[in-house]
Amino acid sequence: MSTGYNFYILIALFTLLLFAYFFMACIFLLRLASFLKTRRQEKFISKWQDHIFNYLYSTEDPQNLISRIPKSKYKYLFSYLRTFLFNLKGEDLNRLKQLITETSLREYFFNKLDKLSIKNKVEASYFLRYINTEETVNLLVKKLHSSNKLIFRTTVESLAYLNAYEKINLIIDIAKKRKNLTSDSILSIILRFDKSICPILTERLDTEKSAHILLVIITVLWHFKYAEALKKVLSILFFSGDKYLIIESLRYLGEVENLDSVNALRFFLGHSKPEIRVAAIEAVGKIGDTSLEDYIISKMLDPELEVKIAAAKAMYKCSNKSEYRLLGYAKNPSNQIESIIARRIIMEKRILEND
């Protein structure tokens, strides 16, 4: 019995030892592969760096340089180019782009986009952003349907770089169906575009049924301070029962700073949910309309602590009257909580002003 038990212990230890050696071997091989890749990259740079810089500051045909670089070395070239494409500006950047747009690399990337390898598709999707043609946009649009998250994100980034804003509705429609994309992920994707998408997103407010997408759209609109969407956002604000949509809509009102929204803000200052009262106070504070300052001052006596703090912040910058009342609270120990809040806000604001 004892001999058999010891035998099994030895087998278990031997198995664990094998696994340990296996993982150590894997780590060694991965580090070796990384080391060799780095060495090959350094070797490529040492050989071709001067040629690339000479090309940048000359009138040499870009195809002459590309023709001299073996295709087997392209992966090191692309890795090297990425850094410069990200950091260069002006004529230097345009000259570097010509290596992609005016050489055989153009067709090379078109072909790679249809390869089976995910790495090839991602690389092609990335570099095609520098080839601003209708053909490029159409090819990239086809890759939006890829099930791979990295291919999808890289493709969207390239479409944004190409300012293909007319594709934004298609991008949102596809993004909605992807289970691996959160609202925050969709927002980060859409914000790759510039303000050109705002009119299209504003129109979508009329038809979009998803509260999550409406939330994303309103966030994008206030990010770009797109005041032209005010009427539609006000409609959502009053007819939506979704707390987060209401808060985001109030944030929009504060960011666009339109006085036509004052009546809406007055209504939501008295909302039953404290988070919504806070959002309304913050919006009033940004707009700075003195017609609502008495409402803001009264919120210092709100039963919820976060509402008191929001009111104190708004009072500090709303007007001389509200700031004076805030100082009054700070000096009045009989209102202990309000006094502590007022003193803290005044101290914080003055520190920031003196920085």
Model pLDDT for residues 63-116, shown as the tens digit of each residue? 999 999 998 888 888 888 888 887 888 888 899 899 999 999 999 999 888 887
Tokens at 275, concatenated:
């988070």
pTM: 0.81
Whose CA is closest to 215, among 174, 256, 244?
A: 244
Q: How far apart are the first and last CA of the chain?
A: 78
Note the pLDDT tens digit of each residue in 193-231: 999 999 999 999 999 999 999 999 999 999 999 999 999
DSSP conformation class of 269: T
Highest mean pLDDT among 47-56, 83-92, 220-229, 345-354: 220-229
Whose CA is closest to 201, among 157, 161, 232, 245?
A: 232
The residue assigned the tokens 């980034």 is 157
CA 23, CA 54: separation in Å to the nearest integer? 46
Task: Please give the share of the chain, as a percent, with pLDDT higher than 70.
Answer: 97
Tokens at 213, concatenated:
């997408």
Helix ranges, 179-273 (H): 183-190, 198-204, 211-223, 230-239, 243-256, 262-268
Instruction: Give the number of other Cβ atoms within 10 Å of residue 163's Cβ.
Output: 13
Instruction: Give the number of other Cβ atoms within 10 Å of residue 156's Cβ.
Output: 26
What is the Cα gyration radius of the chain?
A: 30
DSSP conformation class of 38: H
pLDDT tier at 4, thresholds 50, 70, 90: low
Q: How many helices (H) and strands (E) does the chain have?
A: 20, 0
Tokens at 151, concatenated:
């291919």
CA 353 to chain centre: 29
Distances (CA, A) of 307 to 26, 113, 138, 186: 56, 53, 50, 31
The pLDDT value recorded for residue 26 is: 83
Whether 113 and 139 have beta carbons less than 8 Å apart is answered as yes
